[in-house]
Structures are given as structure tokens and as C-alpha cells.
């Protein structure tokens, strides 16, 4: 290979890549229009191939080092810029994307919420009417703790807060994922999960009400429940989205409907994970803490719920 002729033929590409990199150094990657970003990526691949060839030929070390430096700079701009864009995309999703998805899927979330509330009301009614109903829903040891010992069971969390918090997070995430996955049963299992959780909460609420422990019980529930319960409702809505695609694809083919509604469901799941993590931390460290006044727990829970409502109501401003 004629080295000088090869260098003369390849040098315009090297100079063009160097010029683009200098522009990025001075003005940033955003200063390049989309066609120049594509050109940057193409030139990077070309110069990287030239560097590999130069290393196998009798080319000066100075030229090899120059090509090495250029490819390293180009790699950094292309791939670090890509990762930066990915992180910006994540931030944008949590700022605007998730609230938009919640608003778009609100009927499905409302249906899941309605099932939960219906379960609560059914449990409340039967628990007051029929004493034999309570043991069917609530574990026996909880019933004994409330009825016989006249106390709540949350004190078991104290002293093992980190372990309890992580266990609560895992449990809540599993419940939420189960509600979502239940959509593939045409929504039947999601229906069951939402109704069962409503029955359980309704029965427990009735139990502590009968034991005159409602105030401290709801003081415990309010701080973390203000995020945890909506997250579970969102998960139920995601499950019903998948069920909608299976049962009522509408104008779409069923596969296309699954892609469309499945994307919305996955966005809901992606959005609720931080809610469940925060709720788990609160439930492990804050909610059962006896040194925190109960009125403050109510206040924190109410504030968190109002903040969530305002957040989910956000709309991106159009210009």
C-alpha cells in the first residue's frame, strides 16, 4: 500500500471529523443539526477503521496517536451524548410523560379504584352483619391482637426498620406486578386482586373500628397509603388496559392493540415504581414511629396525596 497516497485520500475525512469535534467543544453537541450528527457518527466509524488499518501498516506513531485521539473524542461525544439523552428522556417522562399517561388511562384506573372501594364496602357491611365473616378475610392473629389485647400490630416493625421497609417494598411491587400481569387473563385476575385487596382493607378497617383503634390505625396508614394505594390503583388500571386489548381491540388488530395498550400499561408500571419505593420507606421508618405525633402523620399523608394529585394533573405547556 502506498502510504502517502492512502493518507492523502483519507485526510479530508479526518479534517472534517476534527472540525465537527472542535465545533462541539466550543458550542456543544446540541449546536449540530441532525444531519451533521449522523455525519459525525459515520465519520467516527470511518476514522476508527482507518486507525485499525494504520496500526497494521508502516504509518508514523504521530499519525496513529492523532487518529486515536480523534476517535476517542468522537466516541465520547456520540455515546456519552446518547446516554445523556437517555437520562434526559427519563427525567422528561417523570416530569410530564407519566402524568400524561395517568390522564389518558384515567377510566381504567378509576375502574380499578372502584373495584377496590366496592370490596371495602362489602367487607364493612358483612363484617358488621355477620361475626363469622371476619376470620374469612383477616388472619386470626390480627383479630386476637385487636380484640383481645386491644392494640395494633405495627409495633413489630420497630427495631427492624430497614428489613421491614425493604420487605414492604418488595411485597407492594409484587402485588402491583401481579395486578398488571393479571391483564393477560382478560382482566379476571386483576379484577380478583383489586377486589381482594379492597375486602382485606375493608375488613381490617372494620376490625380496628370495632376495637376503638381506628384513629391510630389510620394515622399509621395515611402517610404511606397516600402513595401506596394510588400506585396499586395505577397497576390495576394497567392490567385492565391489557385486558382491553385482548377483549376489545376495536379498530386495531389484536396484536397491534396489545402493542398499543401494552405500551401504556408499561409506562404506568414504570411510573409507579418510585411511588412504591417511597411508600415502603415511609411505612418502614415513619408510619410506625411512636415518637411522631398522630396528627402530624395525618397531615403528612394528606399533603403527600394532594401533591400526587397535583403532579398527576400536570400538563405540558404548548407554545
Q: Which residue has the higher pLDDT, 43 or 165?
A: 43
Q: Tens of pLDDT along 68-98?
A: 888 888 777 776 655 555 566 677 788 888 9
Q: In the chain, what are the domain boundaries?
A: 3-89, 105-312
Q: Which residue has the higher pLDDT, 47 or 82?
A: 47
| Average pLDDT of the segment spanning 229-251 | 93
Please state, rounded to an integer, the average pLDDT across all residues of the chain.
85
Beta strands (DSSP E) in the chain are: none
Q: Tens of pLDDT along 269-303?
A: 999 999 998 998 898 888 888 899 999 999 999 99
Give the pTM: 0.73
* 64 CB burial (10 A radius; 0-12, 13-18, 19+): middle
| The C-alpha cell that represents 189 in the structure block | 385476575
**Rounded-to-integer distance, Cα 55 and Cα 63, Å:** 10
**Rounded-to-integer distance, Cα 127 and Cα 125, Å:** 6
Per-residue burial over 190-212, b if 16 or more Cβ lie within 10 Å, else e, is bbebbbebbbbbbbbbbbbbebe
Count other Cβ atoms within 10 Å, centred on residue 116: 23
Whether 157 has a pLDDT exceeding 70, the answer reads no
Percent of the chain with pLDDT over 70: 88
Question: Which residue from 88, 82, 87, 86 is spatially nearest to 40, judged by alpha carbons?
Answer: 82
Amino acid at each position: 500500500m502506498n502510504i502517502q497516497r492512502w493518507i492523502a485520500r483519507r485526510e479530508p475525512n479526518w479534517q472534517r471529523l476534527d472540525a465537527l469535534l472542535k465545533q462541539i467543544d466550543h458550542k456543544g453537541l446540541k449546536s449540530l443539526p441532525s444531519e451533521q450528527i449522523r455525519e459525525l457518527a459515520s465519520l467516527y466509524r470511518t476514522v476508527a477503521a482507518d486507525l485499525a488499518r494504520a496500526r497494521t501498516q508502516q504509518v508514523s506513531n504521530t499519525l496513529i496517536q492523532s487518529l486515536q485521539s480523534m476517535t476517542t473524542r468522537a466516541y465520547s461525544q456520540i455515546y456519552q451524548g446518547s446516554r445523556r439523552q437517555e437520562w434526559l428522556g427519563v427525567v422528561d417522562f417523570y416530569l410530564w410523560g407519566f402524568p400524561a399517561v395517568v390522564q389518558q388511562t384515567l377510566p381504567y384506573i378509576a375502574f380499578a379504584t372502584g373495584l377496590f372501594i366496592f370490596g371495602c364496602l362489602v367487607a364493612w357491611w358483612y363484617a358488621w352483619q355477620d361475626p363469622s365473616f371476619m376470620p374469612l378475610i383477616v388472619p386470626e392473629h390480627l383479630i386476637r391482637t385487636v380484640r383481645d389485647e386491644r392494640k395494633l400490630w405495627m409495633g413489630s416493625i420497630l427495631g427492624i426498620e430497614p428489613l421491614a421497609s425493604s420487605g414492604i417494598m418488595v411485597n407492594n411491587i409484587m402485588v402491583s406486578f401481579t395486578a398488571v400481569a393479571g391483564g393477560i387473563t382478560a382482566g379476571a385476575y386483576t379484577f380478583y386482586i383489586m377486589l381482594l385487596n379492597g375486602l382485606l382493607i375493608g375488613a381490617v378497617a372494620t376490625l380496628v373500628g370495632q376495637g376503638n383503634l381506628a384513629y391510630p390505625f389510620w394515622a399509621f396508614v395515611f402517610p404511606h397509603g397516600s402513595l401506596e394505594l394510588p400506585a396499586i390503583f395505577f397497576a390495576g388500571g394497567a392490567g385492565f388496559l391489557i385486558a382491553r386489548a385482548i377483549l376489545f381491540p376495536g379498530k386495531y388488530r389484536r396484536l397491534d392493540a396489545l402493542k398499543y395498550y401494552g405500551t401504556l400499561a408499561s409506562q404506568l408500571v414504570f411510573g409507579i415504581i418510585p411511588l412504591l419505593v417511597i411508600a415502603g420507606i415511609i411505612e418502614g421508618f415513619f408510619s410506625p414511629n411512636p415518637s411522631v405525633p398522630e396528627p402530624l402523620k395525618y397531615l403528612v399523608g394528606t399533603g403527600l396525596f394532594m401533591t400526587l394529585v397535583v403532579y398527576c394533573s400536570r400538563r405540558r405547556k404548548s407554545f
